[in-house]
């Protein structure tokens, strides 16, 4: 008998016949790490011109650095190790956000059918949530590659929600020259700038994952950005802050960073333009362009061949600045967050 299409859809979900066994990952288990590295279809920094061997070495080094002393697990589906995740409690974020927070610092799922990858990711994500609960954290972040929808779906299945999407743009500074900028148009930040830079940071951002997270208290995102720039000026994070002035006062800044593992494993340095803002009253006067070019030059002078910058998918002004400054789109990612229901940080 005929039945309307709506009665036939959705089709019954296929049985979850794939079993996922999650066990502790031991950093001495090089066999599992090597096997998993070889099966990953997506590797961090695979947009850069490094060999597969170097990219795998870079990934393994970052896993071992993250997993030393931190809760780390592996998942087996269908006999072999198909995924790995590492959890990290974040003291600084806990302090500035005012809620106990952590991060899934590594989330990797090897190649295989999409359904198996989703099941592996879900099992890892569920274990990360358990770990967060055991450690008393109520807010957990993770960044996943946008090329892996099954992994994203696995995290969603364990209760994570999308809070942001990220575009990463790069420039090859050994090959492409930079626009000239006026001498002294950007200078190093000094401690006396901190109050002005904190004020720019606390009023400048709107598109980031903190401002768009309903589980965070009012003002938490602004306080986080203000604390971030102060930390950077004091040398506690990143590798410098450049300031552009207007009328003798700071009108915008860029925090710089460097990937310390890239040079050894990939064979070239990678610098990062970490965080920029230009005060609302000073926009569309070319200050972000000046800061981007001067920051890229500084990172090149420090021996980095590539410079990368990330921005939110929604942040058209920032993407427009980087494209106008010669950056090209290199990779895409999604930020997700889990928040404990009924806890301090819940919606």
Which residue ranges make up the site for ligand COA (CB under 6 A)? 204-205, 207, 276-278, 283-289, 311, 315-318, 320-321, 324
Spatial distance between the Cα atoms of 1 and 78, rounded to a whole number of angstroms: 40
In angstroms, rounded to a whole number, what is the distance separating the alpha carbons of residues 177 and 31? 43
Q: CB of residue 8 vs ligand COA: minimum separation in angstroms? A: 46
- Identify which of residues 209 and 289 has a Cβ nearer to ligand COA in the complex: 289
Least distance CB 286 / ligand COA (angstroms): 5
Q: Which is nearer to ligand COA, 31 or 182 (CB)?
A: 182
Question: What sign does the dihedral 49-52-54-56 (CA atoms) show?
Answer: positive
Specify the residue, 136 or 317, whose C-beta has the smaller distance to ligand COA: 317
DSSP 321-332: HHHHTT-EEEEE
76 three-class SS: strand
Cβ closer to ligand COA: 65 or 165? 165
CA distance 204 to 225: 9
Q: How far is the CB of 310 from ligand COA (least distance, A)?
A: 7
Q: How far is the CB of 279 from ligand COA (least distance, A)?
A: 7
Closer CB to ligand COA, 8 or 284, in the complex: 284
Minimum distance of ligand COA from residue 278's CB (angstroms): 4
- Beta-strand runs (E) in 110-160: 139-145
* Smallest distance, ligand COA to C-beta of residue 215, A: 21
3-state secondary structure of 35: helix
**Residue 10, preceding peptide bond in cis (omega within 30° of 0):** yes
The answer for 70, left when phi > 0, alpha when psi is -120 to 50, beta otherwise, is beta
Q: Is 132 or 318 the residue whose CB approaches ligand COA more closely?
A: 318
Query: What is the torsion angle, in degrees rounded to the nearest 10, for the CA atoms of residue 122, residue 127, residue 133 and residue 135?
Result: -140
Q: Which residue has the tokens 């931190």?
A: 70
Under 8 Å between Cβ of 110 and 82: yes
Q: Output the smallest distance, CB 221 to ligand COA, in A.
A: 12
23, 31, 268, 229: CA torsion to nearest 10: 10
Residue number with CB closer to ligand COA (91 or 179): 179
Nearest approach, Cβ of residue 160 and ligand COA (Å): 22
C-alpha distances in Å from residue 119, one per residue of 109, 133, 150, 285:
10, 21, 8, 50
Cβ 300 to ligand COA shortest distance, Å? 20
Residue 113 or 317: the one with the smaller Cβ distance to ligand COA is 317
Residue 138 or 255: the one with the smaller Cβ distance to ligand COA is: 255
* Distance separating alpha carbons of residues 99 and 116, to the nearest angstrom: 34
For β-strands 139-145 and 161-172, DSSP reports them as unpaired
């Amino acid at each position: 008998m005929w039945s309307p299409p709506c009665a036939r859809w959705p089709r019954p979900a296929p049985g979850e016949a794939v079993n996922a066994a999650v066990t502790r990952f031991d950093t001495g288990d090089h066999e599992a790490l090597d096997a998993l590295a070889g099966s990953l279809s997506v590797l961090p920094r695979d947009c850069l011109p490094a060999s597969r061997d170097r990219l795998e070495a870079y990934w393994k080094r970052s896993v071992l650095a993250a997993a030393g002393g931190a809760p780390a697990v592996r998942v087996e589906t269908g006999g072999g190790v198909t995924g790995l995740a590492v959890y990290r409690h974040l003291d600084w974020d806990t302090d500035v956000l005012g809620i106990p927070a952590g991060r899934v610092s590594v989330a990797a799922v090897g190649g295989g059918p999409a359904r198996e990858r989703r099941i592996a990711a879900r099992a890892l994500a569920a274990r990360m949530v358990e770990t967060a609960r055991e450690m008393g954290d109520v807010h957990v972040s993770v960044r996943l590659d946008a090329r892996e929808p099954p992994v994203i779906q696995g995290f969603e299945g364990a209760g994570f929600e999308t809070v942001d999407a990220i575009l990463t743009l790069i420039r090859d500074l050994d090959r492409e020259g930079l626009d000239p900028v006026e001498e002294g148009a950007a200078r190093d930040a000094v401690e006396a700038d901190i109050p002005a830079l904190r004020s720019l940071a606390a009023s400048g951002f709107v598109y980031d994952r903190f401002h768009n997270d309903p589980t965070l208290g009012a003002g938490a995102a602004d306080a986080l950005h203000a604390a971030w720039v102060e930390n950077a000026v004091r040398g506690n994070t990143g590798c410098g802050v450049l300031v552009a002035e207007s009328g003798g006062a700071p009108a915008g800044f860029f925090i710089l960073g460097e990937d310390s593992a890239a040079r050894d494993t990939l064979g070239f340095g990678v610098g990062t333009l970490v965080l920029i803002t230009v005060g609302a009253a000073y926009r569309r006067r070319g200050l972000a362009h000046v800061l981007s070019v001067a920051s890229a030059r500084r990172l090149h002078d420090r021996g980095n061949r590539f410079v990368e910058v990330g921005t939110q998918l929604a942040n058209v002004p920032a993407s427009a600045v980087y494209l106008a400054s010669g950056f090209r789109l290199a990779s895409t990612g999604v930020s997700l967050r889990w928040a404990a229901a009924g806890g301090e940080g819940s919606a």
